[in-house]
């Protein structure tokens, strides 16, 4: 197992394939070389599973659709297994390397300030080895030859089983140093929680504690054999040379020292191969069953022959007796049958008459009950109508008072304690539901003041859920749909942009047709500030992996690109941010194997504008465009369009002249990892 801060070389140490330089092979490749050199493939079996523990769910890197594998623990032996994981039998070293390459493509990774390709999951390689041990039956007694032969037949062979576990832990990180946010922040929290559970697990083992918390996380459950169990365990700790990370380095070394104090008791695991014994017993049982069925069939045939003879004699006797009685009983039987038919008809008529009388009685009773309930319901409805009229008059009075209070408080906001103090005062005095009710007022000034207050409240994450639950999002979208005032459009779009910073709200905005309304607003607006708000809202939606296809299908990308007509730097910066977010999601989907087709941005004609602004004078625009180019280049299917569109030259410039080292490194790695880019740079004689 490798443990350490993010970016210090854990994956390099364990998972490096070393195809170009064999000296650079990682521990996984070297370990499998030793295993294959020491087994006989004719009699031994070597199988491999490759998994990742991501956000406390175990996912199969060899079969990405298998994304929620459960852990099963043997109640007797305590052994831990993963019965749902893909198990691939290995015959040679090359097939193992291909499996590792396939698994690495499906691992989750992200770009942070500490590492441009930081692992966001724990990778777990499991190698299972089985070996049959023969020649163990010679000690059996041979006094009785037949008995000895039966004992040998029932004696199962012994199988020895071994398991190699190689764990590439995700790196620990401090949020203030890594700069993680959004979904990457949630990943970092999950990683740090699982590593914290591992530290508690190691501490309790090192201190010989009476309680070992190996059930606190799925990672510790998988490693319960490796620390304090029956396995031989090795730990690699990795540290960085920078004095800036002195605290993380000290913590890593202390972790290694505690782990060295854990003592394991090695055990040889053997089991009997009862399956082969069961097959031999089943074969003997089948022979006995066939013989029994043959004898049973012969017995049944004899019984059937005797039964047929007896039945023939009985039939003859019955026929003779019936012929004798038939002549004397025919007339009596006919008379009895006529009387029975008359009696049945009379009984049926009487029964029908009784049922009709009962039905009429029930109808009369139901009519009386219904009349009474209707009279009571009419009285209740009249009373409710009076109460509704009274309540409506009361609400109209309150709305008039609230409109007056809102105008007074909004005009007073710039004089006393600043804008935040006025919003807090308004929220406490008036209440969210009453503020939202003013969005439906007939006065445009009242609506604008209420919208500003909602937008300021939505800027704080703690208020967003309350606004959505109170119907604020629905009201904002309704104003975009119905109002013709551009000032209302501008403030409403700003409030929606603030709510769109939350992933759950993003899905609600898309579900309620928000992208279509934002696109329509962007088409009709001329004010740069309105366009900046709309572009910001769409840019936030572009960062959601689940919504990309729907966002593009409802015209979100075309609306975003259409706003570049404004040429205002703030609008262009939001457009560039949206393009970068969309390209980043496509790159992540490609690395996970869920996207193979050409980028939707390129299909919608965004590439010429991206290339044109890759070296824009405004730093925010240029930084987002550079990231968008790097992410687009990671999809191999985009490379030909990027070469023909001039993006290759911009990528070369970014890899050499970009002011940010992480973007410069990402561009360089993207260029050299693409065979098409490499061939084109050689053709153009570009030094890279």
The DSSP secondary structure of 2-46, one letter per residue, reads EEEBTTSSHHHHHH---SS-GGG--HHHHHHHHHHHT--TTT-EE
Chain-centroid distance, C-alpha 648: 35
Contact present, 87 and 130 (Cβ < 8 Å)? no
Average pLDDT rounded to a whole number, residues 542-569: 88
Beta bridge partners of 73: 80
Average pLDDT rounded to a whole number, residues 23-38: 92
Determine the pLDDT at residue 134. Answer: 67
Instruction: Determine if residue 265 is left, alpha or beta; phi over 0 gives left, psi from -120 to 50 gives alpha, anything else beta.
Output: beta
Residue 122 host element (H or E): strand 122-133
pLDDT digits (tens, 9 = 90+) for 230-275: 788 899 999 988 888 898 899 899 988 888 888 877 777 666 666 7
Measured CA to CA, the distance from residue 205 to residue 211 in angstroms comes to 9
**Stretch(es) of the chain classified as CATH 1.25.10.10:** 567-688
Highest mean pLDDT among 41-50, 311-320, 476-485: 41-50
pLDDT band at 28; cut points 50, 70, 90: very high
User: CA–CA distance from 296 to each of 285, 288, 292, 408 (Å)?
Assistant: 16, 12, 6, 102
Determine the pLDDT at residue 139. Answer: 38
Determine the pLDDT at residue 153. Answer: 52
CA-derived radius of gyration, the chain: 40
Q: Which of 206-215, 262-271, 481-490, 629-638 has the lowest mean pLDDT?
A: 262-271
User: Which is more confident, 557 or 402?
Assistant: 557
Both structure tokens of 539 = 């840019």
Determine the pLDDT at residue 81. Answer: 85
Both structure tokens of 195 = 């590593």
pLDDT digits (tens, 9 = 90+) for 400-442: 555 555 555 444 444 433 444 444 455 555 567 777 777 777 6
3-class state of residue 113 by DSSP: coil
DSSP structure class, residue 69: B
Residue 520: CB atoms within 10 Å: 16
Contact present, 128 and 47 (Cβ < 8 Å)? yes
Measured CA to CA, the distance from residue 75 to residue 357 in angstroms comes to 70
Contact present, 602 and 643 (Cβ < 8 Å)? no
User: Which is more confident, 429 or 278?
Assistant: 278
Average pLDDT rounded to a whole number, residues 446-468: 80
State the CATH architecture for 2-272. Answer: 3-Layer(aba) Sandwich (3.40)
User: Which is more confident, 637 or 353?
Assistant: 637
pLDDT digits (tens, 9 = 90+) for 165-197: 999 998 877 776 666 677 777 777 778 788 888
Contact present, 650 and 629 (Cβ < 8 Å)? yes
Contact present, 17 and 3 (Cβ < 8 Å)? no
Q: In terms of Cα–Cα distance, which of 209, 213, 237, 214 is closest to 225?
A: 214
> 597: exposed, middle or buried (C-beta count within 10 Å: 0-12, 13-18, 19+)?
exposed
Pick among 3.90.1150.10, 1.25.10.10, 2.20.25.90, 3.90.1720.10: CATH of 567-688: 1.25.10.10
pLDDT digits (tens, 9 = 90+) for 280-301: 778 888 888 988 888 888 888 8
Output the known binding site.
4-11
**Stretch(es) of the chain classified as CATH 3.40.850.10:** 2-272
Residue 49 host element (H or E): strand 45-54
Both structure tokens of 421 = 């103090």
User: CA–CA distance from 431 to each of 116, 415, 453, 456 (Å)?
Assistant: 45, 22, 11, 14
Residues 6+ apart with CB under 8 A from 637: 596, 597, 598, 599
Both structure tokens of 227 = 């620390």
Measured CA to CA, the distance from residue 269 to residue 232 in angstroms comes to 13
Q: In terms of Cα–Cα distance, which of 52, 108, 32, 101 is closest to 589?
A: 108
Residue indicated by tokens 């704080």:
460
User: Which is more confident, 400 or 598?
Assistant: 598
Output the known binding site for ATP.
4-11
Measured CA to CA, the distance from residue 312 to residue 535 in angstroms comes to 97
Measured CA to CA, the distance from residue 245 to residue 247 in angstroms comes to 6
Average pLDDT rounded to a whole number, residues 75-102: 87
Give the mean pLDDT of the chain. Answer: 81
User: Which is more confident, 436 or 599?
Assistant: 599
Measured CA to CA, the distance from residue 534 to residue 51 in angstroms comes to 42
**Is pLDDT of 141 > 50?**
no
Determine the pLDDT at residue 421. Answer: 44
Average pLDDT rounded to a whole number, residues 610-633: 89
Average pLDDT rounded to a whole number, residues 331-351: 79
Q: Which residues of 2-34 are buried (b: 16+ CB within 10 A; e: fewer)?
A: bbbbbbbbbbebbbbeeeeeeeebbbbbebbee
Helical spans, DSSP H, in 155-223? 175-178, 183-206, 218-222
């Amino acid at each position: 197992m490798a443990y350490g801060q993010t970016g210090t070389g854990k994956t390099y140490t364990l998972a490096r394939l070393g195809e170009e330089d064999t000296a650079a092979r990682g521990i996984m490749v070297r370990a499998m070389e030793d295993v294959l050199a020491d087994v006989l493939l004719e009699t031994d079996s070597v199988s491999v599973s490759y998994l990742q523990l991501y956000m406390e769910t175990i996912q199969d890197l060899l079969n990405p659709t298998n994304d929620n594998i459960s852990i099963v623990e043997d109640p007797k032996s305590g052994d831990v297994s993963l019965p749902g994981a893909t198990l691939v039998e290995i015959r040679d070293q090359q097939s193992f390397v291909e499996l590792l390459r396939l698994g690495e493509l499906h691992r989750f990774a992200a770009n942070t300030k500490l590492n441009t390709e930081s692992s966001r999951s724990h990778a777990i390689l499991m190698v299972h080895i089985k070996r049959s041990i023969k020649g163990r039956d010679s000690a059996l007694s041979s006094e009785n030859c037949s008995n000895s032969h039966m004992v040998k037949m029932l004696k199962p062979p012994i199988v020895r089983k071994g398991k190699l576990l190689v764990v590439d832990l995700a790196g620990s990180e401090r949020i203030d140093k890594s700069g993680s946010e959004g979904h990457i922040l949630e990943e970092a929290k999950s990683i740090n929680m699982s590593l914290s559970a591992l530290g508690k697990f190691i501490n309790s083992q090192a201190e010989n504690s009476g309680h070992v918390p190996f059930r606190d996380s799925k990672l510790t459950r998988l490693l319960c054999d490796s620390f304090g169990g029956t396995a031989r365990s090795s730990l690699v700790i990795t540290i960085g040379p920078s004095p800036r990370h002195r605290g993380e380095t000290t913590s890593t070394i202390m972790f290694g020292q505690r782990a060295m104090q854990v003592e394991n008791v090695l055990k040889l695991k053997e089991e009997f191969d009862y399956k082969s014994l069961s097959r031999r017993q089943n074969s003997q049982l089948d022979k006995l069953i066939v013989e029994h069925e043959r004898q049973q069939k012969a017995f049944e045939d004899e019984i059937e022959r005797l039964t047929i003879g007896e039945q023939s004699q009985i039939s003859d006797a019955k026929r003779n007796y019936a012929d004798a009685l038939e002549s004397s009983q025919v007339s009596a039987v006919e008379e009895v049958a006529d009387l029975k038919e008359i009696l049945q008809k009379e009984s049926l008529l009487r029964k029908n008459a009784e049922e009709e009388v009962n039905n009429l009685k029930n109808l009369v009773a139901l009519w009386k009950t219904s009349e009474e309930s209707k009279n009571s319901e009419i009285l209740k409805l009249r009373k409710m109508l009076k109460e509704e009229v009274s309540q409506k008059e009361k609400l109209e009075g309150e709305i008039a008072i609230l409109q007056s209070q809102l105008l007074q408080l909004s005009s007073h906001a710039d004089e006393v304690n600043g804008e935040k103090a006025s919003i807090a005062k308004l929220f406490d005095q008036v209440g969210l539901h009453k503020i939202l009710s003013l969005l439906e007022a007939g006065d445009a000034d009242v609506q604008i003041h209420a919208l500003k207050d909602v937008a300021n409240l939505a800027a704080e994450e703690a208020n967003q859920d309350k606004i959505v639950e109170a119907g604020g999002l629905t009201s904002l979208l309704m104003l975009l749909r119905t109002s013709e005032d551009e000032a209302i459009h501008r403030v409403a779009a700003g409030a929606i942009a603030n709510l769109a910073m939350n992933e759950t709200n993003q899905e609600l905005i898309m579900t309620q047709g928000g992208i279509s309304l934002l696109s329509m607003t962007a088409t009709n607006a001329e004010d740069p500030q309105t366009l900046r708000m709309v572009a910001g809202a769409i840019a936030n939606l572009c960062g959601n992996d689940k919504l990309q296809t729907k966002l593009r299908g409802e015209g979100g990308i075309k609306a975003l690109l259409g706003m570049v007509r404004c040429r205002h730097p703030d609008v262009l910066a939001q457009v560039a941010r949206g393009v970068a977010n969309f390209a980043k999601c496509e790159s992540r989907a490609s690395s996970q194997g869920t996207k193979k087709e050409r980028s939707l941005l390129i299909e919608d004609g965004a590439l010429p504008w991206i290339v044109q602004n890759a070296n824009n004078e405004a730093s925010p625009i240029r930084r987002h465009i550079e990231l968008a180019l790097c992410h687009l280049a990671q999809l191999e299917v985009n490379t030909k369009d990027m070469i023909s569109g001039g993006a290759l030259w911009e990528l070369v410039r970014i890899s050499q002249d970009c002011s940010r080292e992480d973007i410069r490194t990402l561009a360089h790695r993207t260029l050299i990892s693409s065979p098409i880019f490499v061939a084109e740079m050689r053709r153009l004689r570009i030094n890279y």
